[in-house]
Structure 1
Amino acid sequence: MLQVDLQGGFGEKGRTSVVVSDGSTRVMLDAGIKVGATGDEYYPVLARPVAEIDALFISHAHEDHIGALCHLRRQGYAGPIYMTEETRAEMPATLAQYADPADLAEYMPQSEQIRLFRPGETLTVGALNVETGASGHVVGGVWFCVEGAGHRVVYTADIVPESAVFPMQPLPACDLLILDASYGADPIPGAERARQIGEWVAGYADGCLLPTPLSGRSLELMAAIGVPFAIEAGMRAALSAQIHAPDAVHKDRVKVLSERLDAARDWNVGEPLPACPLLVHDGMGVAGPSRPALEAAESAGFPILLSGHLPAGSPGARLVDEGRAAWIRMPTHPTLPENTALWEVAGRPRLIGHSCDATSLDALHQHIPALMAGARTGDTHQIDKETTHAHSDFQ
């Protein structure tokens, strides 16, 4: 039997975290925070003390998957932390923005804790095998398949099956699929959204602001934009590293993205907004250069386009709600047809959606009846020979 504890990201967006155990070995997959939350709701809800976790695996360096690392170390976690080289490189910047300052000062992950792997490797912890594969979401991002006791659980983390930039490796068949349901039942293909964004930006080629996460969506936006643009200067090295990471970007996109980055102007916080589209991070206006850039753009009446998840109360959400910014989703998660196909490829298993609110889960359930739309943070699921059981036994 395998037991699966849903520690965050279920019926909600943020603090994504899952634990899989065969009764003797426990592995934790991701440790995110929830932007906009406070207190205990900011961090994953731990099913068991951290001392009982044998290994922690991080899918990628976005805050809703890695932001609680320092918090876990404060709680006493001293075991191995598995991640890719690209995730390790991006980790300090993410934690600097989203970790508690006191935790950041004292409990940064130690270099001896970090175990590096490449997407496609299979790792062993106790009696559990953890298969990995490129996720198509960001450079170095992965999905996980945990196998033990004769069963398999696939946790996709964030995935993009048809990214114009990043390749994704196929998911294996499994007994339980924990699927990226960020977009609910949205059916619009990524290529169509990218076309809409490209047209919007072309309409404001003489100046507009594009807040974006440093990894992942930034390259998707660069691929969609057909006019000269600027970037916040501190992004350049990270974007170049992402473009040229081994096997991380579709080969036919490396040259195009490299040329566009080379041609991009540098912009620094405090300078006048440029007379061209400007990419700044992060994508919500919560942290990083995008916060002062949004304030400057709002004051100047500079056009703003948001293109991803906006937590309630975030600067980006406020601007959209007030009609001061446009919003067009740049797909960096699977759409409805993609999720349906992923479920089919995995063998039509029982299904749980993560990173999605209750209303959107109900909508997705109408299209994929195998989805357990009522699964929530705090639930425990058991996989045995006959079926998948679910109950809640921790808060």
Structure 2
Amino acid sequence: MTLEVELAGGFGEKGRTSVVIGHGKNRVMLDAGIKVGASGRDYYPRPLTPIDQLDAVLISHAHEDHVGALNWLLSQGFRGRILMTRETRDEAPATLEAYAEKELLVAHPFPADRIELFQPGDVLDVAGFRIYTGRSGHVVGGVWFALEYGARRVVYCADVVPDSAVFVMDAMPECDLLLLDASYGADPISGSERAQHIKKWIAARAGGCLLPTPLSGRSLELIAAMPGHFAIHASMRQHLLAQTEAVDALKPGMPQLLRARIHAALDWTDGEKLPDCPLLADDGMGRAGPSSHLIPLADAQGFPILLSGHLPTGTPGYLLHEKGRADWIRMPTHPTLSGNLAIWEGCGRPPVLGHSCGPEEIARLGETIPALQSKRRVGERLLVE
């Protein structure tokens, strides 16, 4: 039995993460992201299968590089099944509002009535595949997928965090092909070490600072690492508290700790004086949400800014960092080198492709993982036989 794997986005690049896996005439798409910083056709995935022939799309989580092309898929004639967790369904409309083309939002709004829900850990039957799911350790409701057909199995990590201090990640099964979250390439520095660097940076700025962050995932990682009192943009409070209710996604003791810290946090609203403590505001790049106006405000007032995630070229965070007016310390929300090595070994050391990573970084990761096919790029098709 043979499986076909189409690299529709995210291979040799960061963004528009998307993979199509098929057998016979059946095809399913895993994730449909957009590429922040790109324009035109390069903003969207490039599947080789015509979109109106896809049987289903399964979304791993609601970040823009995994769900941002959903409206576009609908505009291209997609009529198949749409599957995601409840948390992803609840968060996706806000992501699409920020990152989808406005005319597509109007013509092809979020199809709430078509969404089929599942829980992390469920086993799904889709287009002849048996699809295993597990908690990703990346965000509440985030999952990885393992697609099985006959004797063949492909594991798609999506975004995972093996050493998260906050979220639980389930072990992935052995497989014939592993599509690995290579977002950080061969970065050897652990999440706990980076968290200590962030604590020291914050502690050295007693007069306050701005920390742009995605609304889900990294926000809770930062809150768990916060060295003292802090403020949040008021619009974030209910969403952050809702994430702490997903106790199965969080490590023991974390729901109580996070809720206590969020309840103790100050509310900051637009128009107020910048606080004399750390201020968290979404999103992490400054392209959408409150941080889109808070970043230029903080810059104009000389208020320190710490960026802690991916900065696509041309985004406000990227431009400010390039000019030396914002600092950057990675808060790992993807696997570092040791984490990816452990994932590969746990999956039986299969052939590997890395997604969400540029050519130079993926080549360096290949020096540690010899089974990594580091030259694979968007637009290619390969067979698992």
| Same fold (TM > 0.5) | yes
> Is 2:135 aligned against 1:140?
no
Distance 1:214 1:80 in 2: 27
Distance 2:99 2:196 in 1: 32
1:95 matched residue in structure 2: 96
> Is 2:106 aligned against 1:105?
yes
CA contact (8 A) 1:78 1:113 kept: no
Amino acid at match of 2:140: V
SS of residue paired to 1:20? strand
> Is 2:38 aligned against 1:37?
yes
CA contact (8 A) 2:12 2:358 kept: yes
CA contact (8 A) 1:10 1:377 kept: yes
1:244 matched residue in structure 2: 245
Q: Which consecutive unaligned segments of at least 5 residues does structure 1 have?
A: 385-395
Aligned pairs for 1:37-76 (under 5 A) are 37-76=38-77
* Bigger mean CA offset, 197-206 vs 316-325: 197-206
2:21 matched residue in structure 1: 20
1:387 matched residue in structure 2: none
Q: Which consecutive unaligned segments of at least 5 residues does structure 2 have?
A: none
Distance 1:57 1:269 in 2: 37
Q: Cα RMSD (Å) of the superposition?
A: 0.8
Distance 2:4 2:190 in 1: 35
Amino acid at match of 1:281: D
CA contact (8 A) 2:359 2:375 kept: yes
2:337 matched residue in structure 1: 336
What do residues 285-311 of structure 1 show as CA deviations (whole Å, max 9, x unaligned)? 111110100010000000000000001
Aligned pairs for 1:67-216 (under 5 A) are 67-216=68-217
1:390 matched residue in structure 2: none
CA contact (8 A) 1:119 1:142 kept: yes
Distance 1:205 1:252 in 2: 29
Amino acid at match of 1:312: T
> Is 2:248 aligned against 1:221?
no
CA contact (8 A) 1:25 1:125 kept: no
1:392 matched residue in structure 2: none
CA contact (8 A) 2:93 2:110 kept: no
Distance 1:151 1:236 in 2: 44
1:111 Cα deviation from its structure 2 partner: 2.3
What do residues 118-159 of structure 1 show as CA deviations (whole Å, max 9, x unaligned)? 000010013211110000000000000011132000000000
What do residues 58-117 of structure 1 show as CA deviations (whole Å, max 9, x unaligned)? 000000000000000011112211000000110111000000001111212322310000
Distance 2:273 2:233 in 1: 12
1:275 Cα deviation from its structure 2 partner: 1.3
Q: Percent identity, aligned pairs only?
A: 57
Distance 1:361 1:173 in 2: 22
1:268 Cα deviation from its structure 2 partner: 1.6
Aligned pairs for 1:239-388 (under 5 A) are 239-384=240-385
CA contact (8 A) 2:56 2:127 kept: no
CA contact (8 A) 2:28 2:127 kept: no
Amino acid at match of 2:215: L
Distance 1:217 1:80 in 2: 30
1:393 matched residue in structure 2: none
CA contact (8 A) 1:350 1:372 kept: yes
* Bigger mean CA offset, 251-260 vs 290-299: 251-260
1:196 Cα deviation from its structure 2 partner: 0.7
Distance 2:256 2:355 in 1: 34
1:391 matched residue in structure 2: none
Report the TM-score when normalising by structure 2: 0.98
What do residues 233-257 of structure 1 show as CA deviations (whole Å, max 9, x unaligned)? 1111110011111401112111111
CA contact (8 A) 1:213 1:281 kept: yes
